[in-house]
Amino acid sequence: MLIDEPVWPAHGTLWAHLVTDERLEELHDFAGRAGIPRRAFDHDHYDVPQERWDELVALGAQPVTGRELLRRLQAAGLRVTQREKGARAAGAGE
């Protein structure tokens, strides 16, 4: 598991991204064990509030920079771009 710095502002807090560079099943299992709700999953990552960052690192998430997180997600073939997210959402409405 990889986690970047909580630098993304929304809803009165800062948010980090929790990802895997292996398999999405592994990511969902880790998130489930950590009590992160499935609704926090956004195509290729979980959004997690800064208040949970230390806990997730203690559970085994490896802190990386946002740039490193993106590079590893892309190298694993798991990155979903904004364009792809839009296409998936449009297809879901059919």
Q: Strand 62-63 and strand 2-3: pairing? A: parallel
Q: Which two tokens stand for residue 57?
A: 């690192």
Count Cβ atoms below 10 Å from residue 83 Cβ, excluding itself: 8
**Tens-digit pLDDT profile for residues 28-79:** 999 999 999 999 999 999 999 999 999 999 999 999 999 999 999 999 999 9
Q: Which amino acid is at 9?
A: P
Q: Can you say whether the dihedral through the CA atoms of 4, 25, 80, 93 is positive or negative?
A: negative
Q: pTM here?
A: 0.86
Helices (H), the chain: 24-34, 53-58, 66-75, 82-92
Q: How far is CA 7 from CA 32, 64, 90, in A?
A: 23, 13, 29
